[in-house]
């Protein structure tokens, strides 16, 4: 069963561990999970209230009806 997970954060979470700084991915686009690789930068310009999917680094609008299907 496939799942769509909605993430609204557009920046990483800064975490201090043992004197070391790590950045955790919050946008869900990193290829180095759970760490940030800067992929959140493609989220710039997203319109508030819209839902997007990213396919091969390209932003695609997701229709609301598609998310509500059972």
Task: Identify the domain containing residue 32 by its residue range.
Answer: 13-42+51-68
> For residue 62, what pLDDT is reported?
86
Tell me if the pTM is above 0.85: no
Number of domains in the chain: 1
In order along its 70 residues, the chain shows pLDDT tens digits of 888 889 999 999 999 999 999 999 999 999 999 999 999 999 999 998 889 999 988 999 887 655 555 5
C-beta of residue 25 within 8 angstroms of C-beta of residue 12: yes
User: Is residue 36 included in any domain, yes or no?
Assistant: yes
Q: Is residue 58 part of a domain?
A: yes
Domain for residue 4, yes or no? no
The pair of three-digit structure tokens given for residue 8, joined into one six-digit string: 């609204």
- The answer to whether residue 27 sits within a structural domain is yes
d(CA 36, CA 56): 17
pLDDT for res 68: 54
Residues listed for the chain = 70
């Amino acid at each position: 069963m496939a799942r769509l997970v909605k993430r609204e954060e557009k920046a990483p979470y800064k975490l201090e561990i043992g004197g070391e700084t790590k950045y955790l991915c919050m946008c869900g686009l990193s290829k180095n999970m759970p760490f940030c690789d800067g992929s959140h930068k493609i989220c710039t310009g997203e319109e508030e209230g819209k839902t997007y999917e990213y396919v091969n680094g390209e932003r695609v609008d997701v229709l609301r009806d598609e998310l509500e299907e059972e």
